[in-house]
Amino acid sequence: MAWTGKIVGGVLGSFLGPWGAAIGVGLGHQLDKGVSRVQRAAMLIQVAFFGCLAKMAKADGVVTRQEIDAVEQIIARLGYTPRMREAAIDIFRKAKDDEHSAADYIDQLGAAIQHNPQIGMTFITALHAVAQADGVIHPSERDILEQMERAFRLQQGTVDVLLGGRTHNLGDAYKTLECTPEMSDAEIKKVYREKCLQFHPDKLASKGLPDEFMKFANQQVVKINEAYETIKNARG
């Protein structure tokens, strides 16, 4: 789903809240009249998402070259057109230095995705990529990730698993699947299949995830598969 036409601050303000207009001013575009409600919702998600990326990049006070590169890689993976890329970067630049907190953008994004944990995982993974881009996770960056964990209603400990990067670790594998060692093989297999279904493209699309973000959702399926294989191997 592409951003069509141009975006004006007044339109953004109408569905992003009082701070949305401030982001939109200066984009210099006019929203196409034919944009549907679904497209508007997708735009809201993407504006809030790039606001979160901006706050993460600036969390330690300095936006590094590595963090900018990480954001560029995210944009490239999303497959944005040149116009979409320009709009995304403009939102990033404005949000980076505005008066609003990371929590403002996180709350906006959480509301936009209706606090859906599956969709939330696709976004927190992207934010984590920016946080670790310079090789150091600053305490303020971790705080933003933990705020997202709560706002997206993710399982407690999700950030610990992300920062540990240890899906091969048995304890983290159980956390990824939201299972416990006391569960039977059949119970774990059932949870695994349910999680795979939750991240199915059709399922996520029905919940409002823009098409461009499906690649991030696929990453979660890979992690789920890795976690399941880790548990299976541990159980012989």
- Output the CA–CA distances (angstroms, integers) from residue 150 to 67, 208, 236, in the order listed: 24, 20, 35
The domain segmentation of the chain, as residue ranges, is: 9-235
Is 80 exceeded by the pLDDT of residue 191? yes
> Mapping DSSP to helix (H, G, I), strand (E, B) and coil, where does residue 225 land?
helix
pLDDT value for 67: 94
Q: What is the C-alpha to C-alpha distance for residues 25 and 29, in angstroms, rounded to an integer?
A: 9
pLDDT 10s digits, 129-141: 999 998 889 999 9
Is 60 exceeded by the pLDDT of residue 17? no
pLDDT value for 6: 38
Q: Is 26 left (phi over 0), alpha (psi -120 to 50) or beta?
A: left
User: Are 124 and 82 in contact, with CB atoms under 8 Å apart?
Assistant: no
User: Are 20 and 84 in contact, with CB atoms under 8 Å apart?
Assistant: no
Is 90 exceeded by the pLDDT of residue 80? no
Q: What is the C-alpha to C-alpha distance for residues 30 and 213, in angstroms, rounded to an integer?
A: 24
Is 70 exceeded by the pLDDT of residue 23? no
pTM of the model: 0.70
Q: What is the C-alpha to C-alpha distance for residues 123 and 71, in angstroms, rounded to an integer?
A: 13
Q: What is the C-alpha to C-alpha distance for residues 141 and 132, in angstroms, rounded to an integer?
A: 9
In the chain, count of helices (H) and strands (E)? Answer: 13, 0
User: Are 24 and 190 in contact, with CB atoms under 8 Å apart?
Assistant: no
- List the single range of 23-27, 60-64, 66-70 with lowest mean pLDDT: 23-27
Residue 80's nearest CA partner among 210, 212, 201, 205 is 212
